[in-house]
């Protein structure tokens, strides 16, 4: 059918409508209940993941007329957790070790340009080793720099940010720099549990 699925990739029961080409590298994972609708291409790098119950789509008319449209590109060890909505009309790219975390975030690449009275779409890029928190909204043209955090509930409509920024608020603005062990991890998974009351750690809990 023209797809390229590595034997070690795992594709759970999902709904696919009007799909172009799906490419899944070694160890890639797609969770149950995710919808892929009217996508020209979906590319999952090695050890990348898409959790369950995500809705990932693009607009067919824009796919036909725009040069950068209808694609989801997830880099090595990058991922999307569950219950997010991604409009990939202008393409969404997650670079290696980045994550759309929590639940309920919206990545919306296409909109109406009120000045020109036209519909258009622009790429959203999430930089390498960056973190998007729960219920964040990212609009077309946004580029989150590497090793940065988009805070829970932030609405990021544009702007230029330095690497290592905490982007928070409505509209999203750079608040301060961020750092931590998460940004230097070597696995796509964070499996250690820390009890905040006792300080006890449990390794490989997930």
For residue 158, is it within any domain? yes
Query: Stretch 124-147: mean pLDDT, rounded?
Result: 98
Host H or E run for residue 60: helix 60-65
How many folded domains does the chain comprise?
1
Q: Look at residue 95 and tell me if it is in a domain.
A: yes
Q: Is residue 184 part of a domain?
A: no
Q: Answer whether 0.85 is exceeded by the pTM.
A: yes
Do the strands 71-74 and 55-57 form a parallel or antiparallel pair, or are they unpaired?
A: unpaired
| Model confidence pLDDT, tens digit, residues 159-188 | 899 999 999 999 999 999 999 999 999 999
Residue 28 within any structural domain of the chain: yes
CATH number assigned to the domain comprising residue 89? 2.160.10.10
pLDDT band at 206 (very low <50, low <70, confident <90, very high): confident
Give every CB contact of residue 156 below 8 A, 6+ residues apart in sequence.
136, 137, 138, 139, 142, 144, 150, 167, 171, 172
**What is the model's pLDDT at position 42?**
98
Give the pLDDT mean for 88-96: 98
Per the CB < 8 A criterion, the answer to whether 89 and 112 are in contact is no
With vertex at residue 175, the alpha carbon angle to CA 169 and CA 177, rounded to the nearest 5 degrees, is 135
Whether residue 1 is predicted with pLDDT greater than 80 in this model: the reply is no
In a domain, 120, yes or no: yes
What domain range is 147 assigned to? 4-179
């Amino acid at each position: 059918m023209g797809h390229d699925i590595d034997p070690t990739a795992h594709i759970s029961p999902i709904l696919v409508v009007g799909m172009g080409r799906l490419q899944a590298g070694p160890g890639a994972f797609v969770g149950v209940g995710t919808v892929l609708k009217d996508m020209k291409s979906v590319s999952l790098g090695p050890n990348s993941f898409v959790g369950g119950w995500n809705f990932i789509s693009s607009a067919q008319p824009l796919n036909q007329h725009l040069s950068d449209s209808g694609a989801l590109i997830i880099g090595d060890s990058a991922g999307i957790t569950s219950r997010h909505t991604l409009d990939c009309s202008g393409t969404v790219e997650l670079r290696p070790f980045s994550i759309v975390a929590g639940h309920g975030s919206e990545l919306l690449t296409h909109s109406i340009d009120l000045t020109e009275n036209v519909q258009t779409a622009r790429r959203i890029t999430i930089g390498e080793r960056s973190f998007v928190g729960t219920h964040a909204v990212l609009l077309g043209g946004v580029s989150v720099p590497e090793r940065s955090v988009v805070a829970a509930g932030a609405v990021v409509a544009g702007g230029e940010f330095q690497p290592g920024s905490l982007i928070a608020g409505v509209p999203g603005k750079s608040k301060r720099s961020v750092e931590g062990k998460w940004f230097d991890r070597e696995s796509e998974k964070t499996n250690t549990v820390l009890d905040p009351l006792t300080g006890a750690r449990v390794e490989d809990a997930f």
